[in-house]
Structures are given as structure tokens and as C-alpha cells.
Structure 1
Amino acid sequence: MSSGSNSGGLMSSAGLVRYFDNQGRDAITMNPKTVLAFCVLFGVFVQILSLTVA
């Protein structure tokens, strides 16, 4: 294997690591339980809406 060839191993994931390490301090943070509760409530809302409209 020559030094100029790229096997695609760790170098291909280096951009993702750099992206996730560079999260700003002013980013919006949400509690995962809040997101889960919103998804459940939205699903219940869609089910109720489909029963009343159809």
C-alpha cells in the first residue's frame, strides 16, 4: 500500500467528528423527553383527526 492511496477508513469519518465537536454554545438544546412527548402527542392528534374527518 503506498502512502498516497486513501483506504477510506478513519479519514472519511473525520468530517463528522469535526462537525459534532464544533457545536456552538448558542445552539438550541432540548430535553429528549420533551421531543418524545411532542411526538407522542402529535401522533395522538393525527389519530384523532383521522377518526373525525374520515
Structure 2
Amino acid sequence: MINYIIGALIFGYAAWTIVKYVKRSKQGKCAACDLKNSCETTCDVSSNPNNTRKL
């Protein structure tokens, strides 16, 4: 019985991690970055190349 519980926890965590990854990947490069507050990269906020912001 314990083996089933441990297996369910492992698969549940794996599923949660995959869902979290997919949600973050849909946000785009800079929006999903963990370092977005201290990053030196300039990211486009729209399709206009002159409309950029420094994060």
C-alpha cells in the first residue's frame, strides 16, 4: 500500500512540474524567466523593435 502512495506522489509531482513548465513556456522568454527583475537582457514588449524595455 505504501508503494502505491509513494508512486502516486512521484507521478503527481512529475505531472505538476510538467504543467508548471508548460504554463511558463507560454509566457515567453522574459516573462517566464526567474531572473526577470535583475536581468540585463532587453526584451521586446510588442512587435515594434523600438518599443523595448530593460528588465
With normalisation by structure 1, the TM-score equals 0.44
Q: Which has the higher contact order (CA 8 A, sep 6+)?
A: 2
With normalisation by structure 2, the TM-score equals 0.43
Structure with greater proportional strand content: 2
